[in-house]
Structures are given as C-alpha cells and as structure tokens.
A and B are shown apart, each in its own frame.
Chain A
Amino acid sequence: MADEEDNNVSTELDHQAAFIFNPYEDNEQQDARPAKRRKLSKKDTSAKNQGKESVKSSSTGTFVPLFNGAESQRSAALREATFHSAWSGVEARIQHTLREANRNTLDEVSAFVRSAPSQSDKIPAAYIITGPNTASQQLLFDQLADSLQDIAKPAKVVSIRSAEAPNLKATLKKIIRDATSRALDDEDELDIGGVSGHDGDRKYLDYDLDALHAFLKLSGSTRVVVAFQDTEAFDSALLSDLLLLLHSWQDRLRFTLLFGIATSVELFQARLLKSAAQYLYGGQFDVVQASSVLESIFKAGVAHAGCAVRLGPRLLRALVERQREQVVGIQGFVSSLKYAYMCHFYANPLSVLLAEDEEELREVLQPEHLEAIRMLYSFRNNVDFMLEELEDVEYARRMIEDDRYLTKEIFKDDNRFATKDLGTLLKCLILLKSIGLSKRSFVEEYIAAITSGVDLDAYRSSIRQLDPDGVVSLATRVIDAINDGDPELGVEGWSSEAAETVHELEKIILKVKSLLQKCKDNGTVLRSKHSAQSRVLRTTVVAQKVQLSQDSAQLTEEDRAFTGLLKNLENLLGAELSVGGVFRRLFSEAWVYDSKSPDRDVFVPRPGTTVERALVRPHDYLACECCGSADGAAAATLPATSILYHLYMEAGALINVADLWSAYYALVGEDNEEGGGLDEREALVRFYQGLAELKTMGFVKQSKKKADHIAKLKWL
C-alpha cells in the first residue's frame, strides 16, 4: 500500500473539510510571533506591490536544470530571469492594448452618464452590449469603474455580479457597503458608524439606503453608479424589485445603472416588469468586436517587434482557430501566449540565448549548449547549405569543430535575435497592408508570412490593373507607411534606410500626375496596357483577338509611359516585399516556439478520453508485466474498476449487478482459467471498490426499474 504509512499520519486530516497544511507540525509556537511582524507590514500598505516583487524573486530557482541535469544552476536561473523580462514586456503591451481597445466604449458611456438629466423621473441606464463572452467583462467593468469614479465621488462605483446578489437584501448590502466602505477604508460591519457619528446617534441597518444617503449628504453629492456585470444571470424578479426600490429613492439619491448585456436589450427589457422597465432611461453601447481586439492583442503580443519569443505558425493557427470556434475569449488567448513563453523558457535549454546580458550568457554557456546547437535542424541545414551551395568547407568545418568560432557566430546579434530578418518581415507586412490589396486579416497575413515568407506574386496582376489614381494613392500610402512604421507593431519609420525606394516612389507619383495632366489636356483617358486588355476581355469573347490588337495599337504615348511606370512600381514593390522563411534560419530554435501539444493538453483537456483509456488499457499507464497481454480486453489481472468498465461497455443501458458480479467473479475468482484467483469475499471487496469508483466517477447510478440494477450514464 503506497500510502499506508502516510495514512497513519493524516487519516484525521483526510476527513477534515479544510486545514492548514504543515507536514512537520512543530511551528505551533512560532505562530505567535508572526502576528507582530504582520502588524508592521500592515501599516505599510504600499508593501503590497513590493510583496508581489518578492513573490517573483522568491520564485527564482524554480527552473530545473536541463540536459539531464547537466545544465548549470546559473544557466537555469538566467533562463528564468530572461523569461520574466521577456514576458513582462509582452504583458505590459497587452494590458495597454486591452485598455485602449475599450477606450471608445468607455468614452461614450461616461459621456452618457455625465449628460444624463439630473432632474428626471427616470433612472439613467447604460446598456453595454458585451457579447457572449463573460470572461472578458471583468476588465471592461474595472475600467468603467475607473473612468466613472470622478462622477460617483465620494462614493465608489459599485459593480455587482449575479453570484453576489442572491436576494434584495444582500444586493442592497453589497451596494451600500461597496459604495461607502472603500472610500472610508473601513471594513467593519458597521461601516456607516463613522457617518452616524456626524449624523447624530442614528444607527442604520446595513441594507438601509438611508445610510448611503447620509453618507453622500456629507459631501453634498447624490450620485451612485451601480454596474450589473452579467445582467442575464440576475433573477429578473430581483432586478425588477431593485429597480422599483431605487426609483423610489430617486428624489434623494440619483442612481445611474450600467448593465452588461450578452444578448440584446430587447430580451433584457422583456424580462423586467413593465412597471420597472418604464423607469429606465437607457442608452445602448457596443463593445469592440472580439475579433478586432484579438487582432490588436495579436499585434501587441505575437507580432510586435519587441517580442523575444516568436510563436510558430502551427501553434498560432491552432490558437486562432480556437478563438474562432470556441468561446475562449481574449483572456484565453493571452493565457495560451503566456504558457507558450513559459514552456519555451522552462523546457528549452537554448532559450538562454535570448538573455540580454551578454556577459552573463558568455559565462553561462557550457559544452552541452554547443553540442545541442550542433544538433539543431537549422544548424545542420545551414552547414549543408554552406557546403553544397557555396562550397564553403572552411566555414562548415569550423562551425562543427571549433567551439570558439561557433560561440562567435552565436553572439552575433543578428543570429541570436534575428532582429534584422524579423524587422524585414514586419516591414514587409506593413507594406503589404499599406498596398491594401489583400483581403486577409493581419493575423492570417502574419501566419502566412511566417510559414512561407512574403512576396508580391499574389498581387502583381492587381497592381498592373491599377488606374492612375490608384497608383498615386497606393504609392502615397506606401511612402506613408515607410515614414511612419506601425506603432502597434513597434516598428518605427524606416525612411532613412529606404530612402531610395521612397525617392523612386515619389518619382512615380510625379510622373503619373504629369501624365494625367497631359491626358486631361488632350481629353483622353490615361490607360495602361493591362487595363485595356482586361476591358477587352470583358466585352466579347468571340472578337477577342481582333479587339486585343486594336486596343494595344490604340495605346497612346502617355499610356505606354504609364504602363512603364506601372512596371517600375511593380518591380519596386516586388524588391521591397520579399522575405523568406525567417523562422527556419540559423539558431531559430532558440527563439521560435511552435509546439501545439502542451498548449492543447493544458488548455483543452480531454478528461473523458483520458479516463476511458486508463480504464480500457491500464497497461498504457501502469506498464506492468501482467496486463500487457490483455491489449484492451478484460483480463483477470487488471484493476477491478477496469474489469468492471470492460463489462460495463458490453452491457446495455440497464445493468444487473448480480450478473455483473458473477461475470466479474468468473473472471477473477478461484476457478478462473488461469487459476490462483481470489476467494469470493476478497473478490467481492474488489468488486465493491470498482463499483464505488465507477459510481463516484459518474458512470452508473441507482436504477429503480428493477431490484439490484444500475443504470448506465456514460458512453465515452
């Protein structure tokens, strides 16, 4: 028995609902002291942030040395430090983006709340359509509370979730407590006590809105903002009652209500009593669509130039698909992103190469690192390429044999972070977007780019068919993009690098404009060879050939010049827009993370399949000698639950326990084929265990249809 001895220690505790875990049980006396220390820390409330800091620092050393333990402690610590610095940057950007994403809604809502008529009979109510994903509401409401704080002063914005409002009394308590207590910083039950001191001897019940009134009267304010986060989940009778009650206070307290609505305002109002609904004076506000938020988050967290780790296309595609198909929410995406970072730094020893501190890294590198690098796919590819294509034998030899040479290669910044290549990739993407011919979203574009690189081929024909105005605006857009970069992606303008391109583009613009002017003077229309061609194709098919030749013959001097300019533009863009598979370059394994499985296992568990497999093929887990031959069939040596599950699968929807028992006993009992079985009582004990476990896992329940029968509940 694995835990026989442990059981002796903690049998009592095992049957206790909750307890403080202390395996050594000798800190009884010490417990008296910390109380004092804590008082010190309590005073210093700003210590909370430091506390977080200390949590972080205390968690250093949780990384396990890799290379089968050959990795040095320092290297592991460096990986951990790198993780923290890498992730904190990403996280800050993501938080910022999330805040920005809701900015519009926030502004509208607060404008509505501010402009609400003060002497109206109705309660102003903002319906915020949040969409079905309740997970992302928390942040929105936190932000709302922040932005509305100055209106609600001195009371706090109250935010209620359905779970916190079981009945009217509790809801009122919550409203009063939250509106007053946070401002007073007083956590007592009688938190209005301070108020009642000013207000004479009057004591208030904690669900009496009079208390709130008295509290607000001190500062001459009457406004209270209450937000209902998951409105649909509230009991509609409760909401109606609450509205009626709040309305009856309208002359003394001016409530403003915010409703987070997942479905629609109509449905919400239909649920309320008419008498309650008529007191609401509402405005509807839409929250930014999840997909566009996702794109911003994607830019900030995945594609941003500052991201240390790059997620590979397979993982990204899986993540994006999950966003589309399941209600995971932005939070889920961010969690996955974080987990990918964690995995990368925790499990990949080469992630240490991403450390910013070069000196430290130099000291930390050990032979195992170099050996691992030489095993890399990208390394072998690179050496092969050098040997076969460039026939640089010397380079290949030194890379393979000379540690110092390799180290030098590693420490080239461009190799370690691939900054240049990634920068080019992002610039290409920005240009591609500025061209504006792609119908794909940025996310798709990015994934395609990291899979197979970027080139202009897909857009060449559309560029050729541009009309003069299109050319001008396209070129202008491209120049703008080059000048401005994309702050969302952390790419600054690179006009100095691309001065020549900009110059060429400007030249094209000028020429096109002058051509246009000329045509206007001539009274003709400026066309290119390609646009003419397409026009012909569209007219008739029979006369195609004749008209084609006619058309090109009709091209004027200006048209021909324009065609030449188009060609120029195309070539120019083609040269700018070309980037290969960056994610396969040398040492990319150090900064690319593209493994789908841990993410899927960890965030989309399949407990049903797991349990089923454990029961059907225990050997897969136990790897014991006895059960290997069973191969998914019932055998006497399997755990009782597993045998019962095999029988369970063969049975119908209703199972006779007597028959189940006899089948079980026939298999494991004394006179089974292999002999050496259990006697009846022993087998019965096992049988009981198995059956009880099946019941606990919810496979069977009692059936009243027949005596000693159980009903099947799961078909896995």
Chain B
Amino acid sequence: MDVDVEPEEESAPTPTTKRRGRPPKQTVADEDNGTTTTPKSKGRTPVKTPSRPNGVSSIDTPSRRNVADRSARRKSARALIDRVMGDATSDDEERDETIAREIYESSGAEDESGEEEEIDTEAAEEIAAVTDTPSKTPARRKRAARKKSPTPPRDLPPHEQYFYQNKPGLTKTSNNNLSSLDLLTHDEYFTILRKLEQPHAEEIRSLQSLHAESFPQWMFELSQGFSICLYGFGSKRSLLRDFATHLYSRTEDHRQSKIVVVNGYVRTTSTKEILTTIGTAIDPSQKVASANPMTMLHNLQSLLSSHDTTITLVINSIDAQPLRRQAIQSILAQLAAHPQIHLICSADTPDFSLMWDSGLRSSFNFVFHNATTFAPFTAEIDVVDEVHELLGRKARRVGGKEGVTFVLRSLPENAKNLFRLLVTEVLVAMDDGSGASAEGTGVEYRMLYNKAVEEFICSSEMAFRTLLKEFHDHQMITSYKDILGTELLSLPFRKDELEAILEDLMS
C-alpha cells in the first residue's frame, strides 16, 4: 500500500486529505461524505475490532468531524486506543487498507477500479496524475477489469500462489462475522459429536488395517536400529497403540523389553516426565530424578547400560507444541541413538522435518512411513478451545476468572478498584439492558472516568488511561464506539463470569 508514499501518522485527517490531493478524487470523496456517511458507518461498526476502525472512521469523515466538537477527551481516547493497538502486527498496512476500503466504498463503483489501480502501481498513479480526469478513468477501469476477474489464475505453483495472494491490496474479505452464530460450547460439542455418525468410519478402519499389515516390517526396522516416524494426515494415535499392542504380544519376555508411550500433545509433557517414566520402566526401584535434564539423561543412560532391558519408546505427535523445543528434541535424539532404545513416533504437521538438523537426524536415524489414517484427532486436539483460540475468543478460556484474578493480583490497589468499578457498572448496565451491542454490554468511558475520580481511584485522566492500558494489554477490557461516536468500554466475559469476578474482588 501507500505506506511509503505517506508517512504514517496518528493525526489521521491530514494524510487522507493529502492523499486526495488530486482534484477529481477529492470532489468525489467530499460529495460522498456529505451524503452517505451515516448508513455506511452503521453497516460497518459491528464488524470491526473495537478500536481500530474507530481511528479510521474518524479519519474518513473530515467534513463532519470538522463540524463536530473535537474535545480533548476524544483525542486522548483515540491516542490511547491507537497505542494499545500498536502492538498488533502490521498496523499501518491495515490502516491504509481500511482507508482504501473507505475510499472504495465512499466513491462508489465508478471510482473503485481507479482506486485499486492507484494502490497497486505507483507508476500508473503518476501518469494518471498528469492526465486529466475523463481520459484517465476509462483507461484505468479497463486495466482493473482484467485484474478483477473473479477467478484468480488457476494452477499456479505454490510459491507463485503465495505472492499472488499476498499482493498488497488483494486481501479483501467481506465484513461478515460470526456474531449471529451461537458458538459451540464444550458440552454441546460433545453431545452432538456423540450422536453424530462418523463418516467413512469403515474406510478409516480398513486404512488402518492396511497400515497394520506393516507392523512386522516396522518391528524389523526398529530391531535394526532405525527409528520410525509416521507422517500423513489423520491421527496416528490408535495406529501406534495397535502397534504397541502388537509389539507387546510378540515379545516373550516383558521384563526385558518394555514399551513406554509418550503423548506429545498433552500440554504438560516435559523431558523430566519422559525420562522419569523411562527410568521407572528400566528399574522401578531406582530413581533418575534430577533437576537438570542433561544430568538426568546421563543417569538414565548409565542405568540403561547396567540393565539389559530394551525400551521401545512410542511417541505420539512428536511435533506437538510441548515437544517442539530444540532441547527436548535433542534429548529424544540422544535417547533414540542408544542401542537399547527403539523409537517410533508420529508427526502430524506437514513440515515436521524442520525440527531436526542433520546432526539430530542422524542420531534419530529415521525411516519415514506414510501413515495417512484420516482418523479424527479425538484426544490430541481440544477442538472447541482450538477453534475459539483461532477466532480470538481466547480470553474466555485462558483469561476467564482465574486469569483476571491473576493479573489483578500483580496490579496496584487502585487498579483493582477500577476494575471492580468497571465490573459493577457493566453488570448494572447488563441488568438495565442498556448499552448492549454486538460487542457485549458497554459503559461510557467518560462516565467511568467520572466515577473513578469520585471514588478517588485516580485523580487525572492520564492516570486513568494508564490503568486502562494495563487492562487492555491483558485483554481484560475492550473498547469501541457506538453509532454516535461515544466511547464505550466493555468486558469480554459472560455475565456469570463477571459475577464470579466481582465476588472475588469484593472478598
């Protein structure tokens, strides 16, 4: 976008005007501002992340804002929000993009092609700047029409696809959001899941039995000092369990050969736990406990060499988050390199092999097998949580009541008081049913400030903002503007959670 053309600035109106420096556009935009502002912003408000659009919507309507009262309160609020949002990635691009969209919408279909072209090629822009309006518009539109063909070029190689799709200005998505959809709760998810018949169950089973036919081969490979890594789409957990059972049934001496299963996807998986379990498997009476994993490994290795036990280490999802650290992988590699330890693992992501450098690869001594199972990741993934995290509804889980209490514990007394005040006000507003919107129930910024001053929580707006910033950082509050432009503060929690938090704060 035009980041390099326009220096990014917080005082939003100026850049826009400068940008519109070319006469034809200016007129269109200005006209438009007069007529269509209100419906447009109404349509847009629910979509956005609370704060960012605010900055923008105040940008795009200079005429109205000039008329409006720009109080110090507003300005500072905007500054606050901008600062808070400052840590979001590539904000500038985003802002510019929104500007672009703004213009796009305001100038109507006529000018849309022209605008896009301007974004894409600066060269064209310069030429256009010299030529006069009538000749410019059709020429541009023609070119844009080619670009706007509904289907993107097919069959591009992946890297071309990447560049094509990451072209600035091309990331246009609709403003729909999921607010109308009642998201699933854990209970509902599992209730439905239980009723729901799994499609392709038969095929998945036969696919797995197909893989099971290679069990003897895998055993042979393990016995020859290779480690096995199963990759491909689908959960390989039950496949590995079957393999372990097979292995178990094929070994006569269960004292001499043990099987240790490690579930990499379990969030608490740690080197210590893995090593301790292996130690127990070798000799339940001896402990290899130690603080340092390296020492522990050392102890384990010497323990292993004094016993003639063979350990088969079965690792589910070796590329899961808890195991991804280099330190853990190198310990696993050293384990795998030990002649008395056989390792078989599964990997779920398509680029797991990036975890290992050539040194680790050679200590692992992997052979890879494609074990696509299509089986659902029932134990590996907490589906509901993962999706909600993906949708940015994370606060509900990680934060929640405990999270808030935890954060507040480390904040000064007046921050606690302010939060208590905010919770109370939001709860009151909820009871009234006022201030409800897509973002939840909000209270007015100004009102909250006044109340805070009354209660001696803070004496200046500066202090007030500092306190709010802290909450913002921990995603404990959200702020947005309503249709009239009033700044509202809200809490991303459900009512019962709020009540619990309040209870906690009062006690």
Contact = CB atoms under 8 A, between A and B. Distances in A.
Q: Do A and B bind each other?
A: yes
Contact of A15 (B166, B258, B266, B375): B266
A285 interface: no
Interface in A123-172: 133-138, 161, 163-164, 166, 170
B349 A698 contact: yes
A626 to B, nearest CB: 8
B383 A656 contact: no
Contacts of A21: 244, 248, 258-261, 314
B374 A621 contact: yes
A173 B259 CA distance: 32
A607 B310 CA distance: 30
Interface stretch (A271-279, A326-334, A430-438, A532-540): A326-334
- Pick the most buried of B172, B244, B258, B359: most chain A CB atoms within 10 A of its CB: B359
Contacts of A639: 199-200, 374
B391 A657 contact: yes
Interface stretch (A36-44, A362-370, A461-469): A36-44
A659 B175 CA distance: 9
A187 interface: yes
B330 interface: yes
A136 B362 CA distance: 8
A15 B262 CA distance: 10
B317 to A, nearest CB: 9
A610 B219 contact: no
Interface string B289-324: 000101100110010011111100010000000000
Contact of A658 (B176, B202, B310): B176
Contact of A6 (B238, B281, B305, B359): B238
A8 to B, nearest CB: 12
B384 interface: yes
Interface in A514-573: none
Interface in A623-640: 623-624, 637, 639
Contacts of B170: 652-653
Contacts of B221: 342
Interface string A52-69: 101110110011100000
A331 B362 contact: yes
Contacts of A257: none
A692 B383 contact: yes
Contacts of B238: 2-3, 6
B232 A611 contact: yes
B412 interface: no
Interface string B343-387: 000011111110001110111011111101011111111111011
Contacts of A52: 339
A705 interface: yes
B307 A6 contact: no
Nearest to A687: B387
Nearest to B217: A346
A332 B339 CA distance: 17
- Pick the most buried of A37, A138, A602: most chain B CB atoms within 10 A of its CB: A602
B22 interface: no
B294 A614 contact: no
A657 B309 CA distance: 52
B299 A659 contact: no
B392 A702 contact: yes
Contacts of B107: none
B452 to A, nearest CB: 28
B419 interface: no
Contacts of B109: none
A70 interface: no
Contacts of A13: 261, 263
Interface string A659-696: 10110000000000000000001101110110111011
B176 A342 contact: no
Contact of A691 (B208, B350, B387): B387
Contact of A652 (B172, B201, B306, B374): B172
B105 to A, nearest CB: 15
Interface in A12-29: 13-24, 27
A17 B274 contact: yes
Contact of A656 (B173, B276, B277): B173
A41 B262 CA distance: 28
Contact of A624 (B159, B196, B200, B392): B200
Contacts of B347: 607
A625 to B, nearest CB: 9
Contact of A45 (B198, B294, B306): B306
A637 B241 CA distance: 28
B171 A715 contact: no
Contacts of B166: 653
B72 interface: no
Interface stretch (B9-17, B185-193, B395-403, B493-501): B185-193
Contact of A701 (B217, B298, B351, B390): B390
Contacts of A657: 178, 390-391
Nearest to B162: A715
A608 interface: yes
Interface stretch (A449-457, A492-500, A706-714): A706-714
B450 interface: no
B471 interface: no
B174 A342 contact: no
A329 B360 CA distance: 12
Interface stretch (B113-121, B130-138, B223-231): B223-231
Contacts of B226: 335, 339
A30 interface: yes
A704 interface: yes
A681 B188 contact: yes
Interface in B248-270: 248-249, 251-255, 258-263, 266, 268-270
Interface string B40-57: 000000011100000000
Contacts of B367: 339, 602-603
B407 to A, nearest CB: 20
A7 B237 CA distance: 11
B232 A610 contact: yes
A608 B223 contact: no
Contacts of B184: 681, 684-685, 688
Contacts of A612: 350
A375 interface: no
A658 B381 contact: no
A342 B349 CA distance: 29
Given A173-B295, A607-B350, A35 B260 contact: no
Contact of B306 (A42, A605, A702): A42
Nearest to B359: A134
Nearest to B334: A163
A655 interface: yes
Nearest to A650: B152
B7 interface: no
Contacts of B244: 21, 23
29 contacts: A2-B201, A7-B378, A18-B274, A19-B260, A19-B277, A20-B281, A23-B249, A42-B307, A50-B308, A51-B308, A51-B340, A55-B223, A55-B310, A327-B358, A342-B221, A602-B368, A602-B369, A607-B232, A614-B234, A622-B204, A639-B374, A652-B171, A656-B174, A681-B188, A688-B383, A704-B392, A705-B90, A710-B391, A714-B350
The 9 closest A-B CB pairs, nearest first, are A135-B362, A51-B308, A605-B368, A21-B259, A134-B359, A614-B233, A14-B379, A692-B386, A18-B277
Given A601-B370, A610-B231, 11 more contacts: A14-B379, A16-B266, A20-B277, A52-B339, A55-B310, A134-B358, A657-B391, A696-B348, A696-B377, A696-B381, A696-B386
Interface of A: 1-3, 6-7, 10-11, 13-24, 27, 30-31, 33-35, 37-38, 41-42, 45, 47-48, 50-52, 54-56, 58-59, 62-64, 133-138, 161, 163-164, 166, 170, 173-174, 177, 187, 230, 327-329, 331-332, 335, 338-339, 342, 346, 601-603, 605, 607-608, 610-612, 614-615, 618, 621-624, 637, 639, 641, 652-659, 661-662, 681-682, 684-686, 688-689, 691-693, 695-698, 700-702, 704-710, 712, 714-716
